[in-house]
């Protein structure tokens, strides 16, 4: 679990002063308040905007801000106004409360496992749609934790005709990356040492071990977000390519951004999910993910590696953090 450093930008906002643990969760509505119209007791639901913060809808603000008006609720410009009550609790408990607009009813044909994965898969699909690879493109995915693995399969689903290289740290991650659509997996290899053979780039070395590639990957999805991975991703992307920041370190980073200037590399951010342009239509990210799951282009098979009871939370955290355990996705099972 990441710790947030107080100097980061979101920490200045009162609307982000508290997060309850557990947002990739599927549950059942057990009680509704007066005036609730969109959900009923017994509905199977997942979190939608509940974890990311307040929105114009959850605060019942009208008119909607420009982002809420188009369905990108996580970017709400009124998120820190503090209007109205906020829900309490999260997936690391036996219940939570939420505004009816902050949860999403699960279609009956999805299993609980698929339903739980709609939210994390949505982050990956949104990331790829922020800079979708073209046919024949060379794609690099940095990091093969659950975010990176989902990004690999999202890139393969959205653009089947691209070459995907993944960077993994552990053998079980490398095996999963290949199964989910990676053409090449770098386990211990240095990306700078293989970029020429994979993309045709040239690598130059300056003083003090300073390295830079000319040419390189068309799109890099950085699913780690450390100072090292951001810096290397910018230097491994081709001129006028893109680096999409999917992962993040919640602390100020010292990073060389000169490739953004010198090679005109686009640096693109992605946060959670919202609304997408999908085959010419305006669609919710959740709806796109469910469509891809139904079509068999996304999968949850083999991604849950460990299950624990809630009272085993210490062991669950230890297993999730120590990737030598072979963990990919660790879940609490209340059944």
- Please write the tens of the pLDDT for every residue from 259-309: 999 999 999 999 999 999 999 999 999 999 999 999 999 999 999 999 999
The tens digit of pLDDT for each residue in 93-104 reads: 889 999 999 999
Distance between CA atoms of residues 56 and 58, nearest Å: 6
Please list, in sequence order, all residues whose beta carbon lies within 8 angstroms of the beta carbon of residue 176, skipping any fewer than 6 positions away. Answer: 144, 149, 302, 303, 328
Local confidence band at 167 (pLDDT 50, 70, 90 cut-offs):
very high
Q: How many CA atoms lie within 13 A of 127 on its CB side?
A: 31
Local confidence band at 36 (pLDDT 50, 70, 90 cut-offs):
very high
Rounded mean pLDDT, 304-333: 93
Q: Which CATH class is domain 118-269?
A: alpha beta
Strands 217-222 and 304-308: unpaired
Local confidence band at 199 (pLDDT 50, 70, 90 cut-offs):
very high
Distance between CA atoms of residues 49 and 55, nearest Å: 8
Residue 1 has pLDDT above 60, yes or no: no
Strands 211-214 and 202-205: antiparallel
pLDDT of residue 19: 78
Please list, in sequence order, all residues whose beta carbon lies within 8 angstroms of the beta carbon of residue 273, skipping any fewer than 6 positions away. Answer: 74, 119, 122, 123, 125, 126, 284, 285, 286
Q: Is 286 exposed, middle or buried (0-12, 13-18, 19+ CB in 10 A)?
A: buried
Q: What is the mean pLDDT of the chain?
A: 95
Residue 330 has pLDDT above 70, yes or no: yes
Q: Which residue has the tokens 């010292």?
A: 254
Rounded mean pLDDT, 75-88: 92
Domain ranges (residues) in the chain: 1-106, 118-269, 303-335
pLDDT of residue 221: 98
DSSP 8-state class, residue 290: H
């Amino acid at each position: 679990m990441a710790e947030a450093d107080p100097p980061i930008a979101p920490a200045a906002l009162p609307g982000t002063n508290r997060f309850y643990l557990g947002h990739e969760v599927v549950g059942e509505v057990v009680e509704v308040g007066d005036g609730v119209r969109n959900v009923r007791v017994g509905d199977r639901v997942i979190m939608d905007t509940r974890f990311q913060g307040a929105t114009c809808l959850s605060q019942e603000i009208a008119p909607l801000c420009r982002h809420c008006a188009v369905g990108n609720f996580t970017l709400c410009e009124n998120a820190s106004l503090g209007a109205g009550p906020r829900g309490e609790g999260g997936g690391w408990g036996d219940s939570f409360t939420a505004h009816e607009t902050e949860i999403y009813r699960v279609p009956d044909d999805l299993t609980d496992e698929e339903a739980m994965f709609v939210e994390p898969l949505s982050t990956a699909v949104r990331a790829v749609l922020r800079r979708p690879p073209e046919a024949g493109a060379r794609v690099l995915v940095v990091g093969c934790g659950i975010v990176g693995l989902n990004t690999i399969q999202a890139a393969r689903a959205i653009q089947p005709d691209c070459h995907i290289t993944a960077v993994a740290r552990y053998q079980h991650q490398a095996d999963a990356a290949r199964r989910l659509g990676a053409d090449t997996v770098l386990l211990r290899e240095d990306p700078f040492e293989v970029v020429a053979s994979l993309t045709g780039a040239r690598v130059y070395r300056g003083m003090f071990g300073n390295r830079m590639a000319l040419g390189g990957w068309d799109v890099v999805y950085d699913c780690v977000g450390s100072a090292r991975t951001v810096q290397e991703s910018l230097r491994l992307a081709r001129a006028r390519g893109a680096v999409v920041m999917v992962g993040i370190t919640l602390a100020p980073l010292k990073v060389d951004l000169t490739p953004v200037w010198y090679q005109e590399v686009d640096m693109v951010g992605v946060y959670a999910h919202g609304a997408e342009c999908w085959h010419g239509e305006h669609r919710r990210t959740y709806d796109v993910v469910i469509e891809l799951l139904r079509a068999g282009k996304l999968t949850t098979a083999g991604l849950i590696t460990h299950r624990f009871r809630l009272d085993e939370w210490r062991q669950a955290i230890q297993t999730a953090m120590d990737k030598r355990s072979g963990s990919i996705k660790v879940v609490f099972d209340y059944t």
